[in-house]
Amino acid sequence: LPTGFLDPERHIIPANGSREALFSIAQAVLPPCQAPKPLVLLPNPFYQIYEGAALLAGAEPYFLNCDASGQPNFLAIEESVWARCALLYINSPHNPTGATLSLETLGWLIRKARQYGFVLAADECYSELYPEGQAPAGILEAAAATGSLAQVLAFHSLSKRSSIPGARSGFVAGDADMLKAFVR
C-alpha cells in the first residue's frame, strides 16, 4: 500500500476475531425496520455468520451461487439487486473453494459499492494461506488503486494465519467513517 494511505489511528481497529466483527458490521450499518428489507449479498457456499448477521439485523440474505470459477459471477447480478444491496460479503480466498478474486474484480466491486452506497465487507481471513506461493489480491490493495477507502472494510483473523484457532484475535481495516460504527 502507498505510504500514508492507511493511518493506523483512523483506519484499523482490533477485533475479537473476524467472526465477531463480520457479524457486528451488519448490526452496525444496516438500517433497522426498513421496507422493503435491505439485501445482504453473500457468496454461496458461505460462512454461516454472514446469513445469521443479515437475518438478525432484519435484512434479507441474497445468495450468490459460486460458479465453476469458485466465486460468484458478480456481472450477472441485476441492477435492481445492486440498488437494494446494503452489505456485500466477499470471501477471498473463498472457503471452501479456495478461489480468489482478481484485483480487477475487487476494483469493480468497489466501484459498485460507491455507486450504490453499500458496505463492501471483504472477509480475508485466509489471505495468508494460498497455493503456489502466489499471494491473492486484497481489497485494501484495490482500494489504494482508487485512492480511497470509502465503502471498503477488510476483515482479518490472526488465528488462521498463526495456526492458533480459537485465539479470537483479529482486526478490521478500511473506511474510517464505517469503523466508527463499531465503537459507537
Q: What is the CATH number of the domain that holds 44?
A: 3.40.640.10
> What does the alpha-carbon distance between residue 8 and residue 117 come to, in Å, rounded to a whole number?
24
Residue found by looking up cell 435492481 in the block: 80
pLDDT in tens, 45-100: 988 999 999 999 999 999 999 999 999 999 999 999 999 999 999 999 888 888 89
CA separation, residue 140 to residues 12, 48, 69, 80, 137 (Å): 12, 24, 22, 27, 9
pLDDT in tens, 26-50: 999 998 888 899 999 999 998 899 9
Residue 168: pLDDT band with limits 50, 70, 90: confident
Asked, for residue 146, whether it belongs to a domain, the answer is yes
From 120, 122, 62, select the one nearest 94 (Cα to Cα).
122
Asked, for residue 14, whether it belongs to a domain, the answer is yes
Asked, for residue 77, whether it belongs to a domain, the answer is yes
Q: Which domain holds residue 17?
A: 8-29+36-183
In a 10 Å sphere around its CB, with 0-12 CB exposed, 13-18 middle and 19+ buried, how is residue 126 labelled?
buried
